[in-house]
Structure 1
Amino acid sequence: MAMTLRLDDESQAALDLLAEQDGISKQEAVRRAIVESASRRHHRATVAALGERGIERYRDLLDRLGQ
């Protein structure tokens, strides 16, 4: 799907730097940034859910250890 991306000067400079440092096109740099951001958010959500499940599962033990 085609789209137009409008950036301010600061964002454009950051995109130029990313593309140059990675030796890729600006389009590829944007695509990678989107995929990496989505992956990080998914990972954080998964870790948070696992943490909550662990807390619930071991609540009694954690309470005893905290005393």
Structure 2
Amino acid sequence: MAMTLRLDDEHEAALALLAAADGVSKQEAVRRAVLEAASRRAHSSAVRDLGERGIERYRDLLDRLGE
């Protein structure tokens, strides 16, 4: 799917820097950034879910340790 991305000067410079650092086009840099952000959010969500399950599973122990 094609789309147009409008950037101000600050974002354009940041994108150019990112693309140059990775040796890729600005278009590829945007695609990589989107995938990376999605991956981080999915990972954060999984860690949060595991933490909540651990708290529930070990609630009694955690309460005793906190006393």
- TM-score, with normalisation over the residues of structure 1? 0.99
| Unaligned stretches of 5+ residues in structure 2 | none
Name the structure 2 match of 1:45. 45
Query: How far apart are the structure 2 equivalents of 1:41 and 1:9?
Result: 27
What is the Cα deviation at residue 52 of structure 1? Answer: 0.2
How many pairs align?
A: 67
Query: How far apart are the structure 2 equivalents of 1:21 and 1:39?
Result: 21
- TM-score, with normalisation over the residues of structure 2? 0.99
Runs of 4+ in structure 1 deviating by more than 4 angstroms, as ranges, are none
| Unaligned stretches of 5+ residues in structure 1 | none
RMSD: 0.3
Identity %: 76
